[in-house]
């Protein structure tokens, strides 16, 4: 089942290094706040932005502690305006983000897709069971047991990371392919 995505999420962030933890934290906070402020000024709503990762670590090289600290702060933006993704990524980089990725497209109405997918999976199971019953010279009886065997999403045209150049990158949504599986046990007559 193919679903045209109408929601996008992506992460942008800032990684900052300094010999002093406080200095790394301060510089990182300034850059992240500039990125968030710019995104909000461009129309991203506060409820569409979430801090998804924050860490302060000491820098090391193959287990050897070096002098210095690294602060990493990632935010995830989730919104239904797919047309602005490339521009928002470019803006974030211009305002100080030096990490971008985790680009994912999905459907805002996932529940409807799941229910339709289960319906199609059940119909497919019944069709196959009818064929097998016919081949064994039997008739299909009542349903004895039904189980959902999960659903899987595969994405078309999904980028794992973004390289931002002078122009905003072209972001293509593709389609999201959903695969549903249902196990159905029928009685044979």
pLDDT of residue 185: 85
Could you state, in order of their start, the residue ranges of all structural domains in the chain? Answer: 2-107
Q: Which residues contact 44 (CB under 8 A, 6 or more apart)?
A: 77, 79, 88
For the chain, helix, strand, coil in percent to 5 are 35, 45, 25
pLDDT of residue 74: 94
pLDDT of residue 162: 37
pLDDT of residue 148: 81
- In words, the CATH class of domain 2-107 is alpha beta
Let me know: does 65 contact 10? Beta carbons within 8 Å. Answer: no
Across the range 31-54, mean pLDDT stands at 95
pLDDT of residue 157: 37
pLDDT at 142 over 50: yes
**pLDDT higher at 173 or 25:** 25
Q: Which residues contact 32 (CB under 8 A, 6 or more apart)?
A: 13, 14, 73, 75, 96
Mean pLDDT across the chain:
82
Q: pLDDT tens digits for 91-114?
A: 999 999 999 988 888 877 778 878
Q: CA of 144: how far to CAs of 81, 117, 137, 187, in Å?
A: 45, 21, 19, 6
């Amino acid at each position: 089942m193919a679903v045209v995505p109408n929601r996008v999420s992506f992460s942008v962030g800032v990684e900052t290094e300094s010999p002093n933890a406080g200095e790394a934290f301060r510089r990182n906070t300034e850059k992240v706040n500039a990125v968030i402020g710019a995104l909000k000024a461009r129309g991203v709503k506060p409820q569409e932005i979430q801090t998804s990762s924050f860490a302060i670590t000491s820098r090391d090289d193959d287990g050897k502690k070096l002098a210095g600290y690294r602060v990493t702060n990632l935010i995830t933006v989730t919104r239904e305006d797919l047309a602005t993704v490339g521009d928002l990524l470019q803006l974030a980089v211009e305002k100080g983000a030096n990490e971008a990725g985790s680009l994912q497209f999905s459907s805002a109405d996932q529940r409807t897709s799941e229910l339709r997918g289960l319906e199609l999976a059940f119909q497919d199971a019944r069709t196959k069971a009818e064929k097998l019953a016919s081949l064994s010279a039997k008739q299909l009886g009542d349903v004895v047991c039904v189980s959902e065997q999960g659903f899987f999403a595969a994405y078309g045209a999904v980028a794992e990371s973004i390289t931002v150049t002078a122009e905003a990158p072209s972001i293509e949504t593709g389609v999201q392919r959903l695969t549903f599986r249902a196990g159905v046990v029928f009685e044979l007559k």
